[in-house]
Each structure stands twice: as C-alpha cells, then as structure tokens.
Amino acid sequence: MTRDLTTYRLPRPPVASVSLRIRFKSVPNLQNWMLAPFVSDMREEAVAVEELPPLGALTGLLTLSDSPEEGSEEMPSWPVPRTRFLSGDRTVAVQGDELEVTWAFDPVNAERYPGFDELSRELADLYNKLVLSVGTHEVTIEPSLVECFYVNRIPEVTVSTLAVGVLTGWSSDATVPDPTDDYVGVRLRACADPKKHDCSSLVMVESFGGVDTPVLAFQVSRGVETGTDAVAALAEAHDELIALFKRHTSEDLRRGWGEE
C-alpha cells in the first residue's frame, strides 16, 4: 500500500470520533507514582479527571507454591489505574502500558475534523511528554502496538442498507428497510491486502442512538518492532483504514461527502 493514502481527504467527512492508541512496554514496570509528573501536567488542562480499572488482562493471582521471591524480576507489579483527562471534545487516557487520545467531532460541522496527520502529531507530542516524564525515574518506554479506531455516522442510508452494502461490496442499489424491533449489526475481520496484513482489522456496522443513525467503524492495529517509530506504524495502520473505508463505502456515499 502506498504512503499517499494518508493524504486522502474528504471535504465533508462522516467522522464522529477518532481514537489513536500506543501500547508500550516499560523497563522497569511503571508504578503509579512514576506517572505523577505527567498526570499533574494533564490535570492543569483537563476539565474533569476520572480513574478507572486498567484495560487489558490483569496479572493472574499467585499461589504460595508459585509466588516468586520478593524483589525478583518475575514479581508482578500492582496494576496502574487508567486515568482519563476530559477537556471539551478530547479525552486523554493513560495507564501502565498504554496512552490513548480520543476526539469527538460534530457531524453537522464536518470541517472540524482536522485530518489524521494533525491528530497523530498531537498524540506524538503527548507520548514524548510521557517518555520524558517517566525517564526522570530511569524508566524506559518502548512502543509495542498502535491502533486507529474511527467511528463514522452514516445517516444517508438505513442501518440495514449499510450492513447489506458492506457485506456485498455495494453490488446492489437496493434500499433495505430496517426491522421494526430487531437490532442490526455486522462485524467483519478484514484486511486491505492479504499479502501484507494478518487480516485482524475490524469493520463494524452498528445502530447508534436508534436505527435512524447507523455507524460504520474501523479498527486497525499494528505491532511495532523494536526501534521502530510508533507514529510511522500508526500512519501505516491509518493507510489500511483508509483503504478499508473506500472498499466498504459506496461511490454515491463518498461523492456526497465531497470525493471527486
């Protein structure tokens, strides 16, 4: 896939929200107090702050027979809570192995979506601040995985029509009515290029706020090899996301959003 896909822009994109995530490994394991300087800086910009259980698998309980000696490298650390900093349309979340930024966009004012490049720079700035902050405690962070998650609101068609279009490659122009009481949803494992990707990306059609407002969501992740730039890996994930977006939307829809 060529890099010019990142420059693909629509004048009126249907983007409702974007989440960009960097998962990382730290040596030694991050402790809550090591994040204190970063958390303090983020609190100054936030309107509200929340603490939640961390996402991902928690360390299993140890029995007396298999518990390592205290101080050994195998000793599990206490999970760092997930702290969310809310400020307007942006939410920043950090925990012991992850940094995520989520932006919400007004579908009526589509030009507010600034494009992936600007959002990824914003994430990169926060990630660099985190690296420098924990570095004062002699903690090293290495990115291990990145993820793009885009949610698009598609009010132009019914959720049933959207689901059928995604499943059939928009091979028919038929409009499918929504069932009166039933829920409609589709989830596909997909990849833009089977020769390059492991086909682990997700394409999802869901009802959002009722069947009159269907959403089309894409979730694409990439592993990050040691020494590889996380933002470059994120751009590659976004390139695949754009290819999936173009594959699973119709030409009529994209023309309505300004594609030429």
The pLDDT of residue 190? 86
**pLDDT above 80 (res 73):** no
Reduced to 3 states (helix: H, G, I; strand: E, B; else coil), residue 112 is helix
Which of 41-50, 79-88, 128-137, 200-209 has the least mean pLDDT?
200-209
Q: Model confidence over 158-180: pLDDT tens digits?
A: 888 999 999 999 987 767 777 76
**pLDDT above 70 (res 192):** yes
The pLDDT of residue 67? 41
**pLDDT above 50 (res 5):** no
Model pTM?
0.86
**pLDDT above 80 (res 136):** yes
The pLDDT of residue 8? 86
Among 170, 152, 150, 153, CA closest to 161: 170
CB-based contact 253:165 (threshold 8 Å): no
The pLDDT of residue 50? 94
The pLDDT of residue 228? 86
Instruction: Give the torsion sign (CA, 19, 25, 27, 31).
Output: positive
Reduced to 3 states (helix: H, G, I; strand: E, B; else coil), residue 19 is strand
**pLDDT above 90 (res 76):** no
The pLDDT of residue 112? 83
Q: Model confidence over 197-237: pLDDT tens digits?
A: 667 799 999 986 554 678 999 999 989 988 889 999 999 99
The pLDDT of residue 77? 63
Q: How far apart are CA 213 and CA 13, in angstroms?
A: 15
CB-based contact 80:35 (threshold 8 Å): yes
The predicted model gives 42-66 an average pLDDT of 69
Name the β-bridge partners of 50. 84
The pLDDT of residue 207? 81
User: Domain spans of the chain?
Assistant: 3-57+77-256
The pLDDT of residue 107? 67
